[in-house]
């Protein structure tokens, strides 16, 4: 009520002031615009100006209202698109989980532009396209994924590498992973994928250089690390041995340089691995250097006993067979009931042409453990010593035992 009274009072004051102004002087306004001339008194001009300003203010207010209404419509439409995108994204992910690749790809790609997370849509659509065999569009969907979200290079790159590996595109996968590793040298998943790629490419040299980083980051446990190291150096030694054979064939003379140089690169933990030592000694022997293999095994067996290594040691011919036999007999003092060592001693005795001692060692080994290998050695020795009946009897015993024949009645001779 007071507000209305104040407005009425203000209007009366303005009316009184206007009336007094008109009575005082009407004033004069003259506007010249080109060939046109507009004349009026001051108060009419002021009124027209007020009307013009009021009209402009009303138009501005009307424009703002229309703009707000348009924004509301636009926002409502945008919300509708977002709701549909979320619904289709959910349906697409369900189709992907169910293995309905064409439907999943269609729904995910169609809703990507209005989705809250278009990166997820495009990556999942790329997966669906790959699974459905549409490999031509996989890279295009991955490119759209990259364009849709700034900073998504790593996520897109990892997905691309996984799909390349799944499609057996090993070389492109390697190129992708090498690029990603340059961006993030210690990224765990990139390193794991890189390890798998090197294994499938059989790039043992690169894998050997990657393995310390995998171990440092805790990405392989001890068992897997040992198996990887064994596999890496097994393959590298086989390759080095093949290089030795090729050089020997080309030059007409043997050279162990590729193999011995590689052995110098082998990590200390691997050089203590029994299987690796045995393989290296075996390769040395196959390439014609049994003496070096014998020296290596003698040093190893002095501190680390192995039945497999003593078996190989008994097969090697060192530079000094008598010293080789004496070394093995010293080991027998600590292992008098080791059948494998006795077999090796029998063979080393043959190297030194000690036929009776060799037979004693073979027979003692055979009493401790009936081995086909020992039985064959003893049978061969008896045959060459003129004891054919004993030799044949041993062979028959071994044959019957190995064949698993049942115990049946037999005619007497």
- β-partners of residue 31 are 38
Share of the chain above pLDDT 70, in %: 78
Instruction: Over range 301-306, report the average pLDDT.
Output: 92
C-alpha distance from residue 369 to each of 167, 341, 374 (Å): 52, 12, 9
pLDDT at 260 over 90: yes
DSSP element (H, E) containing 54: helix 42-98
Q: In angstroms, rounded to a whole number, what is the distance separating the alpha carbons of residues 106 and 112?
A: 10
pLDDT at 77: 45
Instruction: For residues 46-61, give the mean pLDDT.
Output: 74
pLDDT of 78 > 50? The answer is no
d(CA 79, CA 62) in angstroms, rounded, equals 26
Take residue 24 and report the two structure tokens written for it.
């005082």
CB 259 within 8 A of CB 274: no
- Residue 157: pLDDT over 90: yes
- Residue 21's pLDDT band (boundaries 50, 70, 90)? low
Backbone angles phi, psi at 40, to 5 degrees: -160, 170
Residue range 39-55: mean pLDDT, rounded: 67
Measured between alpha carbons, how far is residue 182 from residues 78, 92, 247 in Å?
A: 40, 34, 37
The mean of the pLDDT values for the chain is 83
Q: In this structure, what are the phi and psi dihedrals at residue 373, rounded to the nearest 5 degrees? A: -65, -45
Mean pLDDT of all residues in 142-171: 90
Would you call 349 exposed, middle or buried from its count of C-beta atoms within 10 A (0-12, 13-18, 19+)?
buried
pTM of the complete model: 0.70
> Percent of the chain at pLDDT above 90?
46
Written in H, E and C, the secondary structure of 15-26 is HHHHHHHHHHCC
Query: For the residues 308-331, what does the mean pLDDT come to?
Result: 94
pLDDT of residue 383: 81
Domain definitions of the chain by residue range: 20-81
Residue 51 CB burial class (10 angstroms; 0-12, 13-18, ≥19): exposed
pLDDT of 271 above 50: yes
Phi first, then psi: what are they for 27, rounded to 5°? 70, 180
């Amino acid at each position: 009520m007071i507000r209305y009274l104040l407005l009425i009072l203000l209007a009366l004051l303005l009316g009184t002031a206007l009336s007094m102004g008109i009575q005082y002087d009407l004033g004069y306004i003259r506007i010249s615009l080109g060939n046109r001339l507009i004349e009026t008194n001051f108060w009419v001009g002021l009124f027209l100006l007020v009307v013009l300003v009021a009209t402009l203010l009303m138009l501005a207010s009307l424009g703002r209202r229309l703009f707000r209404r348009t924004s509301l419509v636009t926002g409502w439409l945008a919300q509708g698109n977002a709701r549909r995108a979320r619904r289709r994204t959910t349906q697409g992910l369900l189709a992907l989980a169910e293995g309905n690749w064409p439907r999943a790809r269609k729904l995910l790609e169609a809703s990507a532009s209005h989705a809250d997370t278009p990166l997820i849509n495009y990556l999942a659509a790329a997966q669906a396209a790959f699974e459905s065999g549409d490999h031509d569009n996989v890279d295009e969907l991955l490119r759209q994924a990259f364009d849709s979200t700034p900073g998504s290079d790593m996520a897109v790159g990892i997905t691309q590498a996984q799909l390349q590996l799944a499609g057996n595109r090993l070389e492109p996968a390697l190129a992708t992973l090498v690029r990603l590793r340059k961006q993030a040298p210690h990224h765990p998943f990139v390193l794991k994928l890189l390890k798998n790629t090197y294994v499938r490419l059989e790039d043992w040299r690169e894998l050997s250089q990657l393995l310390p980083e995998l171990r440092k980051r805790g990405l392989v446990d001890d068992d897997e690390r040992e198996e990887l190291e064994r596999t890496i150096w097994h393959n590298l030694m086989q390759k080095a041995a093949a290089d030795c054979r090729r050089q020997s064939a080309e030059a007409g003379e043997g050279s162990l340089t590729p193999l011995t140089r590689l052995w110098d690169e082998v990590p200390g933990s691997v050089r203590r691995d029994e299987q690796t030592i045995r393989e290296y000694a075996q390769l040395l022997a196959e390439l014609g250097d049994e003496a070096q293999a014998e020296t290596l095994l003698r040093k190893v067996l002095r501190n680390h006993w192995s039945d497999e290594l003593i078996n190989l040691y008994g097969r090697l011919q060192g530079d000094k067979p008598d010293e080789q036999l004496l070394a093995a007999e010293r080991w027998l003092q600590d292992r008098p009931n080791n059948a494998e060592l006795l077999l090796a001693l029998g063979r080393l005795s043959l190297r030194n042409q000690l036929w009776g001692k060799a037979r004693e060692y073979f027979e003692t080994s055979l009493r401790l453990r009936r081995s086909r290998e020992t039985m064959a050695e003893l049978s061969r020795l008896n045959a060459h010593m003129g004891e054919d009946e004993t030799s044949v009897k041993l062979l028959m015993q071994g044959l019957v035992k190995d064949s698993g024949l049942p115990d049946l009645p037999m005619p007497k001779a």
